[in-house]
Amino acid sequence: MSSESNGAGLVLVTGATGLLGSHVAERLVAAGHRVRALVRPSSRTGFLEGLGVEIRRGDLTDPASCEAAVAGARWVFHAAAKVGDWGAWREFQVGCIDATRTLAEAASRVGVGRFVHFSSTSAYGHPPDQPEPIDETAPLGQNVWVHDPYTRSKVESEELLWAMSRAGRLRLTVIRPSWLFGERDRTTIPRLIQEFRWHRVSIVGPGDNPLSAVYAGEVAGAAILAARDEGSAGEAYNVTSHGPITQRQFLDMLADAIGAPRVTWHYPFWYAYYGGLSLELRDRLRRRAKPPRVTRYGAWLLGRNLSYSTEKARRKLGWSPALTYEEAIARTVRWFFEDPAARIPRDPPPLLVRLGDARRRLIAPRGPQVDAGRP
């Protein structure tokens, strides 16, 4: 691996108020870089201000905002995106594709040394189950579902960036993480802990399938290694796991960390997938702002028999996760329990959950409870 000098320089991070971007900013500051964050007018920036990050408010689809933000930057880490499996195509088009194009054009005009784009394993689409891990040579956009805006936006964002890279207009590196967790996760882990509290977590399929999940700090570390490596311009890297782990092992570790009973309930994959599909159709017809509890994407993420090779990142970048799954989950859970009310809206439990709790109290008065205040 050849390396650029590790000397400090100004780095622009987008999405720095989110899960992955905040870990990137944190690690860059720790490495001595000056970090600038381009954030929305509505973004909450307390964590970044505490790190001493320069805050620029603006709009990623506005060329002037992007040009001012990239001015003087040695590298750009682009983590801002509309993330999740719910919402109108227009939101993904603007928040992912238009934003990526505008920022990349600005970076190209000023000639930044590296543009590191956070894509996703979703950019591969939904390949069929296979025993061999999927590596970076696999085609993008396989078997994209009908109304699958997140996947489509990840594919189209990458395609436009690769076109700029091939034309010699952008020194691009693409990082493809799998499901992320860590401190400052606003979506999945807080939701999952809520579901554990409500005894509503189920295993999708038998549970012995490989799960692709990775701590956001490890992905940030790999991305910074790639930015420093001259030979990584024009390369993509999967950064998807700390090592082999199954769906059941991950859920058991999470249950143990939060002090909840381990999950024993299973649904067949097809039941979770088609159940998710019908709930999605119902909630789209009702124009619900929030996704249903089960979605096709959620079922697929947990229950498919697929994995992604991290061999290239390990070999070319010398990347190796510093934390075990237990350690990374423990950090995440500790952060959640520092202030559970701030991490997730305290919705009243649904009627069925209250009835289930009452029944559990009757039959096992001293049974294990998941307590919101647990350290």
| 82 lies in the binding site for ligand NAP (CB under 6 A) | yes
With a CB cutoff of 8 Å and minimum separation 6, the contacts of 315 are none
Torsion on CA atoms 331, 334, 339, 342, rounded to nearest 10 = 40
Report if residue 18 touches ligand NAP, rule: CB under 6 A.
yes
Which of 76, 95, 164, 221: binder of ligand NAP (CB under 6 A)? 95
Q: Tell me: does residue 97 bind ligand NAP (CB under 6 A).
A: no
Does residue 99 bind ligand NAP (CB under 6 A)? Answer: yes
Contact pick of 25, 80, 134, 306 for ligand NAP (by CB under 6 A): 80
Whichever of 42 and 264 has its CB closer to ligand NAP, that residue is 42
Q: What's 322's DSSP letter?
A: S
Q: Are 162 and 172 in contact (CB under 8 A)?
A: yes
300 belongs to the binding site for ligand NAP (CB under 6 A) = no
* Residue with Cβ nearer ligand NAP (177 or 205): 177
Q: Name residue 293's amino acid.
A: R
Binding mask 119-158 for ligand NAP (x = CB under 6 A): -x--------------------------------------
| Contact call for residue 43 and ligand NAP (CB under 6 A) | yes
Alpha helices in 233-350, H assignment, sequence order: 247-258, 269-285, 296-303, 311-317, 325-338, 340-343
| Cα–chain center distance at 215 | 9
179 touching ligand NAP, by CB under 6 A: yes
SS3 142: strand
Burial of 265 (0-12, 13-18, 19+ CB in 10 A): exposed
Q: Which of 11, 13, 21, 76 binds ligand NAP (CB under 6 A)?
A: 21
Nearest to ligand NAP of 100, 108 (CB atom): 100
Alpha-carbon distances of 308 from 112, 129, 130, 138, rounded to whole Å: 30, 11, 10, 10
In the complex with ligand NAP, the residue whose CB is nearer, 209 or 212, is 212
Contacts with ligand NAP by CB under 6 A lie at: 15, 17-21, 40, 42-43, 60, 79-83, 95, 99, 118, 120, 177, 179-180, 186
